[in-house]
Amino acid sequence: MATLKQLQKTLQLTYGLVPIVAGLDKFTNLLTNWADYLNKGLIPIDPSVFMKVVGVIEIIAGVLVLLRPKPGGYLVMAWLICIALQLLAGGHYLDVAVRDLVMAIGGYTLAQLSTNPSGNPKGVSA
The identity of residue 94, as a single letter, is: L
Domain boundaries, the chain: 4-113
Helix orientation angle between 94-113 and 69-90, rounded to the nearest 10 degrees: 160
Indicate the burial class of 108 (C-beta count within 10 angstroms; 0-12, 13-18, 19 or more).
Answer: middle
Residue 120's pLDDT is what?
Answer: 54
Per-residue pLDDT tens digits for 93-119: 999 999 999 999 999 999 999 986 554
Q: What are phi and psi of 55, to 5 degrees?
A: -60, -45
Contact 34, 45 (CB under 8 A): no
The identity of residue 4, as a single letter, is: L
Per-residue pLDDT tens digits for 11-30: 999 999 999 999 999 999 99
Residue 79's pLDDT is what?
Answer: 95
Full-model pTM: 0.86
